[in-house]
Amino acid sequence: MAQLSDLKLKYRVLIQGYPFRHVDWRPGARLNKSLKQARIALITTAGFYLPGQAPFDQSFRHDDCSFREIPWGTPADTLRIGQSSDAFDHSGIEADRNLTLPLDRLRELIDAGLIGEAAPRHYSIMGSIIAPARLLAESGPEIARQLLEDRVDGVLLAPVCPFCHQAAGLLQSIIERAGIATVSISLLMEVTKRVNPPRVLIVDRPLGYPLGEPHDPVLQKSIMLAALSLLTSAPGDQLVTNFSEPSLPPA
């Protein structure tokens, strides 16, 4: 698992003095049905966008709080990568977009009868946001509104970079306040605990690898199911669980 000490000096200094934001999500929401009946949406912080969509701003300001809708049925390998942070290894998501937006794995879990259905649209943000005011005031509430419109039951968020953990946690908490159960993966708990989102699955992988390893569908689906299984828990206080054993049933 990533530690602040693993980061470049400029990021260690920035994070140590940074005033992290948080959103009060309490009392929180929970999934009141089985995963086999649930409609699930995915959110990535990797700045993915479709060829016909405008790319994210990759300037040094790190203040692009916009989002892109990713329609269900989009082939994962057609997504372009707009993430500008140099604080993580990009080679994983370049090799396999499912590491942070597991569209193919979600389809396989639905086909296997382990998850009910996918939301009609999923979401991508540029998670390396230093100034998240517009995410809190505009983009986050709009994503939550669309999720409610799509009758989504649960949301899985997968951050890739250090500040992505703040963006994912803030977005998660906004969606939770709207009444939809959420869970995020954390690769850097030193940031996640400062944002205090409701449910977190800790995955012992480096930054950029929230779903494990490229082209390892068994591991990716195991992590997804471990995370999504937390949605049925009432989050009175922050729920943090370590990923350990595979969650897939034996073949």
Tokens 């057609």 correspond to: 78
Does an H or E element contain 157, and which?
Answer: strand 154-158
Q: Provide the pLDDT for residue 250.
A: 45
For residues 236-246, give the mean pLDDT. Answer: 83
| Predicted structure pTM score | 0.94
For residues 163-176, give the mean pLDDT. Answer: 97
Query: Which tokens is 170 given?
Result: 């803030």
Q: Provide the pLDDT for residue 60.
A: 56
Q: Provide the pLDDT for residue 4.
A: 80
Q: Residue 68: pLDDT band by 50, 70, 90 thresholds?
A: very high
Report the distance separating Cα 209 and Cα 160, nearest Å: 7
DSSP string covering 129-195, please? -S--HHIIIIIHHHHHHHHHHTT--EEEEE--STTHHHHHHHHHHHHHHTT-EEEEEES-HHHHHHH
Average pLDDT of the chain, as a whole number: 93
Rg of the chain over Cα atoms, rounded to whole angstroms, equals: 16
